């Protein structure tokens, strides 16, 4: 079977013929497939899309195609210029490539799919092309996917910020967190009111009114915009973010108390940070024994840890009156302590009590860790994308890996 027969079977272009195939050079590491227009076919204007007469021909150009049997493949074609009545003299539109690209659209989709599994540099090295070619392929796939994705039927979204660079450089990320459908919907630079406001303008008033749940942390900018733009949705402060506040308070108390004890010659809190911050179920046997020993000491850090563990009981209650009663009782105990970080935490929880109670109302509909699960994937993508100088490049990488974007039918899937 000849290579032209395979190409015609997999990727046929009606007005063009795969004329011949030959080795690219004596090393036999690549193939050149020459393409010519069919007789009496008229070229299509790249400006208006209408057919016109042939004005002249440009020099031959190579278009890198999907590799075959480990061999690089190039399509070779001398493009015609069209004498278009509407646009003047224009280069014809080619069905296998767009614009001035030197790679075929099939090869771009091929690279974009591999770029989800490997870093862009690794993808470029494996398939004999450049990093910039892989980037353009990813950008093409993202733009096509965003134009063709379906945004209807979204009922739950999660909003969070992720630092992508040192110096308080943040992205605001909005996810769809419906059961059975979790994906990145939108990326905005910075974490201000204006940033989140742009998302709701993009999302549209009609879709916003159909939202049932919005999950976020306690960032004031987000809270005010959500209250203004989506007051019909149930706003939830999820369990993960709340327990994260506890860990920050405990860590602050532990660091301060460890310094005080060290000056007195005691190092009982040395190397205990993760014993106190990790969930007890995730501790190893040696760590559990060390933690039990630590809890026998009368320390402010130990008191904070026990208060955190006691607060965990809140999530197990079902009856609304039990939830409210326990919450208020815990607040009273926390506010009566002399440990200022815990007092500040209690005041914060008291201010956001309504959004915390909404978690119970939405229980069973939204997973509390859905947003943070997506954030872990964001951090993995960010690490793999280390070295990106332009934030917009990282945006394309995030959409590409987390957006669950649609793709056109292709014969070159693997």
- Give the per-residue pLDDT at 142: 96
Distance CA 182, CA 375 (A): 12
- Give the per-residue pLDDT at 310: 94
The pairing of strands 234-237 and 213-216 is: parallel
Question: pLDDT tens for residues 109-147?
Answer: 999 999 988 888 899 999 989 999 999 999 999 999 999
Q: Other CB atoms closer than 10 Å to residue 237's CB: what's the count?
A: 23
The answer to whether residue 176 scores a pLDDT higher than 80 is yes
Distance CA 246, CA 276 (A): 11
The answer to whether residue 81 scores a pLDDT higher than 70 is yes
Distance CA 62, CA 70 (A): 18
Structure tokens at 374: 């997506």
Three-state DSSP class for residue 142: helix
Give the strands of the sheet with 169-178, arranged side by side: 181-189, 169-178, 156-165, 213-216, 234-237
- φ/ψ region of 57 (left if φ > 0, alpha if ψ in -120 to 50, else beta) reads beta
Max Cα-Cα span within the chain: 95
- Give the per-residue pLDDT at 412: 60
Asked whether the beta carbons of 62 and 34 are under 8 A apart, the reply is: no
The answer to whether residue 196 scores a pLDDT higher than 90 is yes
The answer to whether residue 63 scores a pLDDT higher than 90 is yes
Average pLDDT over residues 73-100: 91
Distance CA 116, CA 168 (A): 27
- Give the per-residue pLDDT at 387: 57
Question: pLDDT tens for residues 348-363?
Answer: 999 989 888 888 887 7
Distance CA 13, CA 33 (A): 14
The answer to whether residue 301 scores a pLDDT higher than 90 is yes
Question: Residues with Cβ < 8 Å from 155, sequence gap 6 or more?
Answer: 178, 210, 211, 212, 213
- Give the per-residue pLDDT at 7: 83
- Give the per-residue pLDDT at 365: 61
DSSP bridge partners of 158: 175, 215
Domains and their CATH numbers in the chain: 1-100 (no CATH), 156-237+367-403 (3.30.420.10), 239-362 (no CATH)
The answer to whether residue 1 scores a pLDDT higher than 60 is no
Question: pLDDT tens for residues 381-395?
Answer: 877 665 566 788 889
The rounded mean pLDDT for the chain is: 88
Average pLDDT over residues 322-347: 94
Average pLDDT over residues 265-285: 86
Which range, of 72-86, 237-251, 294-308, averages the lowest pLDDT? Answer: 237-251
Q: What is the pTM of this model?
A: 0.82
- Give the per-residue pLDDT at 188: 93
- Kindly list the distances between the CA atom of residue 53 and the CA atoms of 36, 91, 92, in Å, as whole numbers in the listed order: 16, 11, 10
- Give the per-residue pLDDT at 318: 86
Q: Other CB atoms closer than 10 Å to residue 183's CB: what's the count?
A: 16
Percentage of residues of the chain with pLDDT beyond 90: 48
Question: Residues with Cβ < 8 Å from 242, sequence gap 6 or more?
Answer: 349, 356
- Give the per-residue pLDDT at 23: 86
- Give the per-residue pLDDT at 146: 96
Which range, of 162-166, 286-290, 323-327, 396-400, averages the lowest pLDDT? Answer: 162-166
The answer to whether residue 12 scores a pLDDT higher than 70 is yes
- Give the per-residue pLDDT at 390: 78
Average pLDDT over residues 140-160: 93
């Amino acid at each position: 079977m000849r290579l032209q027969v395979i190409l015609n079977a997999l990727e046929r272009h009606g007005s063009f013929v795969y004329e011949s195939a030959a080795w690219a050079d004596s090393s036999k590491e690549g193939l050149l497939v020459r393409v010519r227009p069919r007789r009496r076919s008229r070229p299509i204007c790249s400006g208006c899309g209408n057919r016109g007469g042939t004005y002249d021909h440009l020099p031959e150009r190579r278009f890198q195609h999907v590799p075959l049997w480990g061999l690089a493949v190039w399509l070779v074609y001398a493009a015609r210029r069209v004498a278009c009545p509407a646009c003047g003299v224009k280069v014809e539109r080619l069905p296998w490539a767009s614009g001035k690209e030197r790679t075929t659209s099939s090869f771009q989709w091929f690279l974009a799919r591999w770029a989800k599994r490997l870093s862009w540099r690794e993808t470029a090295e494996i398939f004999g092309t450049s990093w910039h070619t892989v980037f353009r392929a990813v950008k093409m796939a993202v733009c096509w996917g965003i134009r063709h994705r379906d945004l209807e039927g979204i009922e739950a979204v999660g909003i969070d910020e992720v630092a992508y660079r040192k110096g308080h450089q943040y992205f605001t990320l909005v996810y769809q967190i419906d059961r059975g459908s979790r994906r990145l919907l939108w990326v905005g630079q910075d974490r201000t009111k204006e940033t989140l406001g742009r998302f709701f303008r993009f999302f549209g008033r009609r879709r916003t009114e159909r939202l049932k749940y919005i999950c976020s942390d306690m960032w004031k900018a987000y809270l005010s915009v959500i209250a203004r733009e989506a007051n019909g949705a149930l706003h939830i402060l999820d369990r993960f973010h709340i327990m994260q506040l506890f860990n920050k308070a405990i860590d602050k108390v532990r660091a301060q108390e460890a310094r005080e004890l060290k000056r007195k010659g005691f190092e009982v809190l040395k190397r205990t940070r993760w014993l106190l911050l990790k969930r007890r179920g995730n501790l190893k046997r040696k760590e559990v024994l060390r933690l039990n020993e630590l809890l026998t000491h009368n320390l402010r850090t130990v008191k904070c840890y026990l208060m955190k563990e006691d607060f965990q009981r809140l999530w197990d209650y079902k009856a609304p009156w039990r939830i409210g009663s326990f919450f208020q009782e815990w607040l009273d105990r926390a506010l009566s302590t002399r440990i200022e970080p815990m007092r500040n935490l209690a005041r914060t929880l008291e201010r956001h009590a309504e959004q915390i109670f909404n978690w119970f109302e939405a229980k069973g509909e939204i997973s509390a860790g859905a947003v943070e699960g997506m954030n872990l994937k964001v951090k993995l993508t960010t690490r793999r994308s280390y070295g990106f100088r332009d934030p917009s490049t990282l945006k394309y990488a995030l959409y590409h890996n987390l957006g669950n974007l649609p793709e056109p039918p292709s014969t070159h899937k693997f």
